[in-house]
Structure 1
Amino acid sequence: MDAVDEEDRTGDVRHVLVLPDREAAEEAAEALVDRYGLDEEPQLVRDALAGEDDAEDAQWLLVVEDPDGRLSATRMDDFAAEWEGWREEP
């Protein structure tokens, strides 16, 4: 598990990662738990793009609860990028 430097802490209690598809979101959720030792699995949420009916056009969100502020915004940005996604700003 990576340690978080004091100056890298964000104080956020929730991170929302946007991923391109369900498969990437499911794989990223598993990797988050393994890599950072999360107490609970991130929540997967389907986010249909405006005006799109097709499930293929949906983005998937990973909602990561972080009540202790252990996960920095920088690390979550880098992690999401590994899955061709990004972290939403609060």
Structure 2
Amino acid sequence: MSDARHHVLVLPERDAAEEVAEGLTARFPTLDEPELVRDALAGEDDAEDAQWLVVLDDPDGVCDPRELDQVAQAHDGWLER
């Protein structure tokens, strides 16, 4: 079984999620490219009511969660804990 750490940044818009993913790829080039996932809010049918998740695998624990949270907050999001 893997000890892989997963960080999930929650962002309000796809553009912000794509920008964050690109920034994380540049900042941590040794990690796999982050995965973007659209997450519809519970009970909402409208496509506008969706969050975007940036999922980053960090098997060696090189990412500082505080830094990731700051990145997410700069885009009106947060780091899921």
**Fold-level similarity (TM above 0.5):** yes
Q: How many residues align?
A: 79
Question: Which TM-score applies when normalising by structure 2?
Answer: 0.88
Identity fraction in percent: 57
**Which among 46, 50, 56 is matched to residue 58 of structure 1?**
50
Shift of the alpha carbon at 1:12? Answer: 7.1
Q: Which residue of 1 aligns with 2:71?
A: 79
Q: Which residue of 1 aligns with 2:14?
A: 22
Residues 47-78 of structure 1: CA distance to partner in whole angstroms, max 9, x if unpaired?
Answer: 10111111111000010000010001111111
The alignment partner of 1:77 has SS state of helix
Answering whether residue 30 of structure 2 is matched by residue 44 of structure 1, we say no
Q: CA RMSD in A?
A: 1.6
- Give 4+ residue runs of structure 1 displaced > 4 Å after superposition: none
Q: Which structure 1 segments of 5+ residues have no match?
A: 1-10
Question: Which TM-score applies when normalising by structure 1?
Answer: 0.80
